[in-house]
Amino acid sequence: MFMESINEFKKDHPKFIGARYIHSIYRGVTTEVMKASLKEIVEMKQLFPDFIAGFDFVGHEEEGNSIEYYRDSIQEATKHLKFFVHAGESNWYGHTDLNMIDAALLNASRIGHAFGLSKHPLLAEMIKEGNIAIELCPISNQILMLNQDPRNHPVIPLMAKNFPVVICNDDPSLWGATGLSYDWYVVFMAMTPEGAGLEVLKQFAINSIRYSAMEDCLKKEAFEKWEKYWDEFLDDIILSDSERM
């Protein structure tokens, strides 16, 4: 159903590159259930290699099991799947931070939230050197009361140090989020320097492609398309400015 919907959408929207599926597993299951779930998604990856991207954990991190708890099953699965994991999604200073360490050691493609990463400078450098992207979800962080004012978000210092950051929305179906525009707006208006302009938005767009789950050949196609549309966007802005003058 997912794949059919994507193909139908692509027919009506030629600018659309495609979509990938990241399988989510609840972090409260037993090791036996985790092993069986990962085995199943590996088999699905073999059947649909261009659609299945990898896996992630979902659920309240403070109450769920750690990544280390599932280490045997995960280490086997990472031979076949990429790892996109929610880790450090807490404003507490404690055991959830260890999940970020394990995510880095497992060479995750992206880390969801990493809200506590700024408390661990050595780990932060390790993640930056590994080119592991941080998924920034500002509206989710505010709704879940991790951060009340996005101007004081702990990811801001990481962005200032040129960490790879991608803007995402978390659990969008729960509150009816429509696309990423709202999260982009919050980040741009509240979490970037006052004098920041289009160059910041351009970098966020580039990061979205660079750290996506697409294959390299498809990323190349996406960049070529995006650069074309970006140039057209700039031409439209310049034209509209000249008409107003």
pLDDT digits (tens), the chain, 245 positions: 999 999 999 999 988 888 999 999 999 999 999 999 999 999 999 999 989 999 999 888 988 999 999 998 898 898 899 999 999 998 888 888 999 999 999 999 999 999 999 999 999 999 999 999 999 999 999 988 999 999 999 999 999 999 999 999 887 777 777 788 999 999 999 999 999 999 999 999 999 999 999 989 999 999 999 999 999 999 998 888 777 76
Hey, what domains does the chain have and what are their CATH numbers?
19-213 (3.20.20.140)
Which of these is catalytic: 23, 61, 86, 89? 89
If one counts every other C-beta atom within 10 angstroms of the C-beta of residue 46, the result is 10
The pair of structure tokens assigned to 163 is 């960490």
What single letter denotes the amino acid at residue 178?
Answer: T
Q: What is the model's pLDDT at position 245?
A: 66
Which of these is catalytic: 113, 120, 153, 194? 113
The pair of structure tokens assigned to 9 is 């959408």
Residue with tokens 């991207």: 53
Q: Are 48 and 23 in contact (CB under 8 A)?
A: no
pTM: 0.90
Among this protein's residues, is 113 annotated catalytic? yes
Q: What is the model's pLDDT at position 237?
A: 87
Describe the strand order of the beta sheet including 52-58 as a list of residue ranges.
Answer: 21-26, 52-58, 82-87, 110-113, 133-136, 165-167
Residue with tokens 């050691």: 105
Distance CA 85, CA 54 (A): 10
Among this protein's residues, is 89 annotated catalytic? yes
